[in-house]
Amino acid sequence: MTTQTGLGAFTSIPVIDIAALWTDDGESRKRVVDEIGDAARNVGFFYVTGSGVDEELFESMLKQVKAFFAKPVEEKMRYYIGNSTCHRGYVPVGEEGLDKPDKKPDLKEAFDTALDLPADDPDHLAGNPMLGPNVWPDQDGFAEAVTAYYQAVLAVGQKLLWAFAVALGEDPDVFTRHATKTPSQLRLMHYQYDPDAHDVQGIGSHTDFECFTLLRPTAPGLEVMNGAGEWIDAPPIPGAFVINVGDMLELWTNGEFVATSHRVRKVSEERYSFPLFFNVDYDTRVAPLPQFVRDGEPARTPLVAGEHLFAQTAQAFTYLRKRLASGELTLPEGSVGLGTFGQEARQKTA
Ligand SMILES: O=C(O)CCC(=O)C(=O)O
Ligand SMILES: [Fe+2]
């Protein structure tokens, strides 16, 4: 059932209870790690239960986010992402997605947050385009609710990063040693339901730019491409995270783990979703690990994790694309275009 990419013609997405990762029971831990490894190789997506994240943290954040998006657009634009020097704040409908081959804007709005560093953080002061303080709306409890959720889910991400290394037979800390001050974004996303919109996509087909993503959606709409090029539904499971491999783990494993392409189609109900994109430190040079550069298999070209994130972001967001066009901004040397990872990219070259 597997194609030459290793990715199966799967028709559903595995569900993995990861609670044993926090226990001393070596056998149960190994079972979970093996399941994670299988899913990362054959599907690139899996659901996670047993993360231990308190459901109350999710509900509090959702309540705050609903209240924010319900405000008039002029109010939300006070926090426009284009006014931030480290890519934080409100992303209006139409800001993203215009560079896709089909040139359709994504029908969604978002509020982008990430690791909340102090204003005098040295990387921020040095002009790093992704590291720095969050922008917070003037709304009681918003910052607290989002921060509590971010910290809880980031901790689950650290555990998963460890598990991915073990699943690969690597030193367990081969990735986590690079995860100390990561440009890991938490995007708060709102897909409006518009019964009159025809042929409008929620978010176009893509891979995620980081190591992996921990996602909580409130409604169906997410679709995942299998090894046969078919779109498979990934509806929410209550309390579970949807995990997917991103570009950096695909690169580190030279394609053994797959950054699976996915998209959100026109939604049939109002939808919120919360992806936390777990990254490694900005300056981490990601090159295929030696065990994955097998005889006759070419090694992929290394990338710097933070530069890749910034280069992809700059090609997808209107405010940054304008700066690229005007010459005010240039992409880091060696940047790759959108759509370089995942099975869609492979099918293009197959
Ligand atoms: O909203 C979703 O379910 C997925 C969002 C997504 O894929 C992304 O933001 O990268
Ligand atoms: Fe995504």
pLDDT of 3 > 50? The answer is no
Full 3-state SS string of 315-341: HHEHHHHHHHHHCCCCCCCCCCCCCCC
Both tokens of 139, joined, read: 């709304």
Q: Are 277 and 209 in contact (CB under 8 A)?
A: yes
What are the domain boundaries of the chain?
15-349
pLDDT in tens, 100-110: 555 566 678 99
Q: Specify the ligand 1 atom closest to the Cα of 262.
A: 7
Nearest CA-CA partner of 184 in 113, 83, 95: 113
The protein residue whose alpha carbon is closest to atom 1 in ligand 1 is 273
Give pLDDT tens digits for 86-96: 999 999 998 98
Distance CA 89, CA 294 (A): 43
1: pLDDT strictly greater than 50: no
Out of 187, 273, 317, mutate this one to test ligand 1's pocket (max ligand atoms within 8 Å of CB): namely: 273
- Three-state secondary structure string covering 184-244: CEEEEEEECCCCCCCCCCCEEEECCCCCEEEEEECCCCEEEECCCCCEEECCCCCCCEEEE
Contact 260, 45 (CB under 8 A): yes
Amino acid, res. 20: A
What is the residue with the minimal CA distance to atom 3 of ligand 1? 222
Q: pTM for this one?
A: 0.95
184 touches 154 (CB < 8 A): yes
Q: CA separation (Å) from 122 to 127, 133, 207?
A: 9, 12, 31
Q: Is 222 in the pocket of ligand 1 (CB under 6 A)?
A: yes
Residue type, 115: L
| pLDDT tier at 128, thresholds 50, 70, 90 | very high
- Residue 61's alpha-carbon distances to 88, 90, 141, 225, in angstroms, are 17, 16, 9, 30
Pocket test for ligand 1, best of 47, 203, 242 (most atoms within 8 A of CB): 203
At 19, the pLDDT band (50, 70, 90 cuts) reads very high
Q: Which atom belonging to ligand 1 lies closest to the Cα atom of 242?
A: 3
Do strands 222-225 and 262-264 pair parallel, antiparallel, or not at all (unpaired)? antiparallel
Predicted pLDDT of residue 150: 98
Give me ligand 1 centre to Cα 91, in Å.
Answer: 14
- Which residues, in sequence order, are bridge partners of residue 271? 191
Q: What is the pLDDT of residues 215-262, one digit of tens each?
A: 999 999 999 999 999 999 999 999 999 999 999 999 999 999 999 999
Q: Report the pLDDT value the prediction gives residue 192, as an integer from 0 to 100.
A: 86
Q: What DSSP element (H or E) covers 262?
A: strand 262-264
Residue 198 above 70 pLDDT?
A: no
Question: Percent of the chain at pLDDT above 70?
Answer: 92
Q: How many Å lie between the centroid of ligand 2 and the Cα of residue 147? A: 21
Q: What value does the mean pLDDT of the chain take?
A: 92
Does the interface ipTM go beyond 0.95? yes
Of the candidates 90, 87, 96, the residue with the CA atom closest to the CA atom of residue 315: 96
Return d(Cα 190, Cα 206) in angstroms, integer. 18
pLDDT value for 200: 67
pLDDT band for 4, please (50, 70, 90 cuts): very low
Structure tokens at 28: 């149960």
The rounded distance, in Å, linking the Cα atoms of 256 and 276 is: 23
CB 262 less than 6 A from any atom of ligand 1: yes
* Whether the CB of 116 sits within 6 Å of ligand 1: no
Q: Is any atom of ligand 1 closer than 6 Å to the C-beta of 259?
A: no
**Does any ligand 1 atom lie closer than 6 A to the CB of residue 97?**
no
CATH architecture of 15-349: Sandwich (2.60)
Task: Look at residue 297 in the predicted model and tell me its pLDDT.
Answer: 83
Q: Give residue-wise pLDDT tens across range 136-149.
A: 999 999 999 999 99
Question: Which residues face 45 on adjacent strands?
Answer: 244
pLDDT digits (tens, 9 = 90+) for 160-196: 999 999 999 999 999 999 999 999 999 999 998 877 7
Is 203's C-beta closer than 6 angstroms to any atom of ligand 1? yes
